[in-house]
C-alpha cells in the first residue's frame, strides 16, 4: 500500500485496525461470522454466473444461479431483499433474500427496454428504481418496480439523458443522482457504441417524484468522458468516475465532483502518475461515511485510489490486479477482483478460487 499527501494521519487512523487485526472481522461485534454482509455477482470458473453473498471474513455464504452474467445490485434498507440486475443489454433481474440467497422472484424489463445494471430502493423500501435503456426511442429511463407486487413494473421516469448507468439516493433519500454515460447502444449490436462522435454524458439529479432538478454536463472538450459510477460522500458532494472513449494518449480527468445546487462539475486531478495508472477507466466508486473517504477502482489499471472527500486529496493507492467491485460498510472500504479475492482497506482478506467477482458489490445494512 502506498500512502501519499500530508493527511496521512487521517487515513492511517481510518485504516489502523486493519494493520493490527489482520484477518479478523471488525465490522460489528454483534455480527456472526457466517452472516452475509455483501451482495455481488460473479462468474464461476467452471462456467455459469451467480449472485453471491459474502460474509465479513470474505467467505462465500451462498450462491444463486443467474440466467446470464449479472452486473450491479440493490439491497433494501431493512436488509432482507436484494436484487441483482442483468449486465446490459439483457433484460432479467433476480430478487433474493440477501441473508440466505433464497430466490424470491425473477422479472424482466418490458419490450423495448433493457436494464443498464444498477438500481436502488426508494426511501419507503418498496419501489425498486432501475436504470434502463429505452433503445428504440434512444432515451434513458428509470424503471419503477413494486417489490410488494412481484416486481410489477408500475412506471418510469426520464433519466435526463442517454445511457443512464449507476444511481444513488442523495440528501437522505430526498433525491436521486444518476450518471448519464452518453453512449448510444442497441441490442441489435450488443455493446457496440454507436455515437462516439456525438456523446453527451452528464449527471442528473431527480426528485423522488421523478422531476429532474438539474443536469450537470462536462465541458465540450470532455464530451467523450462517459460518466458511469458515483457515490455520495459524507459532506453531500457527489463523486463520479468516468471512462474515456477517446485516444489513450489524451490527458483527461477521470474523477469529478458535483455539489448539488451548484452548476457544473469540479474535476479532481491526482498527480499524473496516479491518473495514468487508471488507464482512462474508472470501474466503480464508493464513499465511506464514517471515515470521509472516497474510493475509485480501475480494473484496467489494477489500482484503487483513495481520496479524502473534504480535502479532495489523494491519500492512498492500492495496487490490486483486475479490481473493480467496491463497497463501504461501517468504517471499511472493501474491494473485489476478477480472481475471486476480497480486499479490505488494501489488504487481501479472502479468496474464492472458484469465482471471478464481477464489477460491483453492494453492502448490506450494518
Partner 1 sequence: MRWIALALTLTALALPLSAPAQEGETQAMSPPDPESFRPVVAAVVDGVILPDHAGFTQAATGFARAMPAFCENPSPDDLSITKGEFARLVMAWSRVEIWRMGPALSDNRHDRLYYWPDRGGRGLRQVEALLQSDDDKATDPEALYAGSVALQGIPALDYLLSGDGAQVLTEQDGIRRCHFASAIAQVVARNAEALQADWQGPKGYGALMRDSGSANAVYRNPGEAMREILTRAAEAVQVVRERKLIPALGDGPAAARPKLAPLWRSDLVIPAVLSELEAVAALLEAGRLPALPAMGSMQAWVSGTRFDLRQAMQAITRATDGAPSWEQVLTDPARHKLLSYAVIPLSSAEKRLGFELPSMLGMVAGFNALDGD
State the residues that interact with partner 1 by CB under 8 A: 43, 71, 87-88, 117, 165, 184, 186, 188-192, 194, 196-197, 228, 243, 245-249, 251, 276, 281, 283, 299-300, 302, 321-324, 337-339, 356-359
Residue whose CB is less far from partner 1, 202 or 299: 299
Which residue carries 484477518 as its cell? 23
CB of 289 to partner 1, least distance (A): 26
Whether residue 16 contacts residue 9, with contact meaning beta carbons closer than 8 Å, is answered with no
Q: How far is the CB of 356 from partner 1 (least distance, A)?
A: 4
Q: Are 306 and 323 in contact (CB under 8 A)?
A: no
Q: In the bound complex, what is the minimum distance in angstroms from residue 92's beta carbon to partner 1?
A: 16
Q: Nearest approach, Cβ of 251 to partner 1 (angstroms)? A: 8
CA distance 306 to 316: 5
| DSSP assignment letter at 17 | H
How far apart are CB 56 and partner 1 at their closest, in Å?
23
Nearer to partner 1, 172 or 220 (CB): 220
Comparison of 209 and 247: residue with beta carbon closer to partner 1: 247
Rounded CA-CA distance 216/196 in Å is: 19
CB nearer partner 1, residue 111 or residue 247: 247
For residues 153 and 130, what is the distance between their CA atoms, to the nearest angstrom? 10
Query: Which residue, 11 or 167, is less far from partner 1 as judged by CB?
Result: 167
Distance of CA 90 to the CA centre of its chain: 18
Nearest approach in angstroms of CB 90 to partner 1 is 12
CA–CA–CA angle 177, 179, 185 (5° rounding): 145
What stretch of H or E contains 138? none
> In terms of CB distance, is 279 or 289 closer to partner 1?
279
| Whole-angstrom distance, CA of residue 348 vs CA of residue 341 | 7
Q: Which is nearer to partner 1, 190 or 264 (CB)?
A: 190
DSSP state of 272: H
Nearer to partner 1, 14 or 223 (CB): 223
Q: Least Å distance between CB 40 and partner 1?
A: 12
C-alpha cell at 171: 440528501
Sequence-distant (6+) residues with CB within 8 A of 179 are: 164, 165, 166, 167, 203, 227, 228, 229, 230, 240
Least distance between partner 1 and beta carbon 47 (Å): 11
**Residue 238 CA: distances (Å) to CA of 21, 115, 227, 278, 291:** 32, 23, 12, 20, 16
Of the candidates 240, 264, 236, the one whose C-alpha atom is nearest the C-alpha of residue 254 is: 240
Amino acid at each position: 500500500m502506498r500512502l501519499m499527501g500530508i493527511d496521512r494521519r487521517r487515513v492511517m487512523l481510518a485504516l489502523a485496525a486493519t494493520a493490527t487485526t489482520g484477518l479478523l472481522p471488525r465490522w460489528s461485534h454483534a455480527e456472526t461470522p457466517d452472516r452475509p454482509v455483501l451482495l455481488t455477482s460473479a462468474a464461476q470458473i467452471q462456467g455459469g454466473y451467480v449472485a453471491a453473498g459474502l460474509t465479513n471474513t470474505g467467505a462465500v455464504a451462498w450462491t444463486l444461479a443467474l440466467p446470464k452474467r449479472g452486473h450491479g445490485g440493490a439491497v433494501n434498507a431493512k436488509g432482507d431483499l436484494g436484487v441483482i440486475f442483468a449486465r446490459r443489454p439483457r433484460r432479467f433481474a433476480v430478487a433474493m433474500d440477501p441473508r440466505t440467497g433464497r430466490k424470491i422472484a425473477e422479472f424482466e424489463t418490458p419490450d423495448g427496454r433493457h436494464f443498464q445494471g444498477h438500481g436502488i430502493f426508494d426511501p419507503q423500501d418498496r419501489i425498486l428504481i432501475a436504470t434502463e435503456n429505452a433503445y428504440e426511442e434512444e432515451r434513458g429511463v428509470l424503471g419503477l418496480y413494486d417489490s410488494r407486487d412481484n416486481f410489477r413494473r408500475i412506471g418510469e421516469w426520464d433519466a435526463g439523458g442517454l445511457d443512464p448507468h449507476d444511481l444513488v439516493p442523495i440528501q437522505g433519500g430526498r433525491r436521486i443522482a444518476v450518471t448519464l454515460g452518453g453512449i448510444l447502444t442497441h441490442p441489435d449490436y450488443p455493446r457496440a457504441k454507436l455515437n462516439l462522435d456525438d456523446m453527451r454524458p452528464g449527471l442528473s439529479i431527480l426528485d423522488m417524484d421523478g422531476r429532474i432538478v438539474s443536469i450537470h454536463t462536462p465541458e465540450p472538450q470532455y464530451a467523450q468522458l462517459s460518466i458511469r459510477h458515483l457515490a455520495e460522500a459524507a459532506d453531500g458532494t457527489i463523486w463520479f468516475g468516468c471512462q474515456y472513449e477517446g485516444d489513450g494518449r489524451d490527458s483527461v480527468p477521470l474523477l469529478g465532483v458535483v455539489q448539488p445546487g451548484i452548476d457544473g462539475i469540479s474535476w479532481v486531478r491526482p498527480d499524473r502518475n496516479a491518473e495514468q495508472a487508471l488507464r482512462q477507466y474508472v470501474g466503480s466508486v464508493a464513499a465511506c461515511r464514517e471515515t470521509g473517504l472516497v474510493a475509485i477502482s480501475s480494473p484496467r489499471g489494477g489500482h484503487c485510489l483513495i481520496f479524502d472527500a473534504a480535502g479532495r486529496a489523494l491519500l492512498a493507492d492500492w495496487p490490486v490486479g483486475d479490481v473493480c467491485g467496491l463497497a463501504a460498510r461501517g468504517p471499511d472500504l472493501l474491494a473485489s477482483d476478477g480472481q475471486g479475492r476480497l480486499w479490505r482497506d488494501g489488504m487481501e482478506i479472502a479468496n474464492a478460487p472458484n469465482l471471478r467477482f464481477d464489477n460491483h458489490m453492494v453492502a448490506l445494512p450494518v
